[in-house]
Chain A
C-alpha cells in the first residue's frame, strides 16, 4: 500500500517562499507528482519527478530523494492566486496514483 504524509496547512505572505514537504512509504514507486487544487475544481498538474534531484518550472520547483522517500514542492514569489490545496501523489508501477491528504496554502497580503 501507500502511506503519504504532508502538512495539513501552511500560511505565507505574498512574495515569500513556501516549501511543502511530502514523505512517502510505498510498495512500489514509478514517479511522484504534485498537483494544485482550488476548492471545488480539478487537480491541475504542476510537476513530476521520477529521478532524484530538482525539477524547476518557473516559480515552482520540486525535489525528490527516492532513498529517503521524500519530496518537496517549492513555491517562490507567492501570489494570492497560489492559495490552494497542494497534493502530493505517488504513482505505482501499474500507473495508479495515490494521493496525500493535501496541504492547504493560504497566501496573505
Chain B
C-alpha cells in the first residue's frame, strides 16, 4: 500500500538559511499534519491542513510557514534557521476522523 512520502530524507543547513520540506500524503487522504521531534522527545504538533486550508496550529514558530497545494501535497518552509531547529520533521496524513499515518521523516541538521 502507498505510504506518506517525504523529501528530502536528510538535510543539512547553516544558521540563518532557509529550508523547504515536502510531504506527499497517502492517495485520497485530505488532511496533512506536520510534527517536530527533537532528540529523545515526543513528536510535537506544528500545523495541519484539511482540504488545502489550515485547520489547526500548534507550537510552530513564526519563522515557519506551511501550505497544502491543489494536489494535496504540503510544504513546510523554514526560514532564519536556528541550531535548535535540528530535529526530525514528520508529516502524517489521514482522511477526516481517521488514523494518522506517518511518513519516514526528514532529518534536519542546522550547523
Contact = CB atoms under 8 A, between A and B. Distances in A.
Interface of A: 33, 35, 40-45, 48, 87, 94-102
Interface of B: 31, 33, 41-45, 48, 55-56, 58, 88, 90, 92, 94, 96-97, 99-105, 107
A72 to B, nearest CB: 18
Contacts of B56: 94-96
A23 B88 CA distance: 26
A99 B45 CA distance: 9
Identify the interface centre among A35, A96, A102: most chain B CB within 10 Å of its CB.
A96
Given A94-B56, A97-B45, A100-B42, A40 B100 contact: no
B105 A96 contact: no
Contact of A96 (B45, B90, B96, B102): B45
Contacts of B43: 43, 87, 97, 99
A99 B41 CA distance: 10
A14 B107 CA distance: 32
A95 B31 contact: yes
A33 B99 contact: yes
10 contacts: A33-B99, A42-B102, A43-B43, A45-B101, A95-B48, A96-B33, A96-B48, A97-B100, A98-B45, A101-B42
Contact of B42 (A40, A48, A87, A94): A87
Interface majority SS (helix, strand, loop, mixed), chain B: strand
A65 B100 CA distance: 22
Contact of A42 (B33, B44, B104): B104
Nearest to B6: A42
A96 B99 CA distance: 11
Contacts of B97: 95
A52 B43 CA distance: 26
B103 to A, nearest CB: 6
A5 B17 CA distance: 37
Contacts of A45: 99-102
A58 to B, nearest CB: 17
Contacts of A99: 42-44
